Amino acid sequence: MMARMEGSVVWRAALLQALTLTLVALVLSALLDREFFVSWGWLAGPGAWAACALFTGTVLKLPLGPVLAGAALAGLPSLVGVLLDQHWLGAPLAVAAFAVWCGWIARPRPAGVVL
């Protein structure tokens, strides 16, 4: 049996995560030089991704623990892009995976089931 999810949450999560991630990337790239990202991108990228995911989860009223776990799992495809020296290669896939995760955790659950 296929797990049901909240379709409207999937679309809203995808849009919100993509928009906030783009905004954060534009602001950081305007404020910081390339050397910062060469030295600290391994921390700044996942930190920005997690912050955007927490913002998305807060706006959508999702449980933030599962949101952060889903963000970590969904961010893994981006590692392929980083390893190929094509940083944004995995971002669209990661946003889609994160959005599906959000739709899954937003689905109605029977009484007594806790995430």
Contact (CB, 8 A) for 96 and 115 = no
Alpha carbons 4 and 110: distance in angstroms, whole number: 13
SS (H, E, C) 67-113: HHHHHHHHHHHHHHHHHCCCHHHCHHHHHHHHHHHHHHHCCCCCCCC
Enclosing domain of residue 101: 47-106
Mean pLDDT on 62-81:
92
For residue 98, is it within any domain?
Answer: yes
Q: State the virtual CA torsion across 25, 105, 15, 96 in degrees, nearest 10.
A: 70
For residue 42, is it within any domain?
Answer: no
For residue 83, is it within any domain?
Answer: yes
Taking 60 as the threshold, does the pLDDT of residue 28 lie above it?
A: yes
For residue 31, is it within any domain?
Answer: no
Q: pLDDT: is 14 or 82 the higher one?
A: 14
For residue 24, is it within any domain?
Answer: no
For residue 23, is it within any domain?
Answer: no
For residue 34, is it within any domain?
Answer: no
**Residues whose CB is less than 8 angstroms from the CB of residue 80 and which lie 6 or more positions away in sequence, other chains included:** 89, 90
Q: For 76-100, what is each residue's pLDDT tens digit? A: 888 887 788 777 788 898 999 999 9
Q: pLDDT: is 101 or 113 the higher one?
A: 101
For residue 93, is it within any domain?
Answer: yes
Number of domains, the chain: 1
pTM over 0.95: no
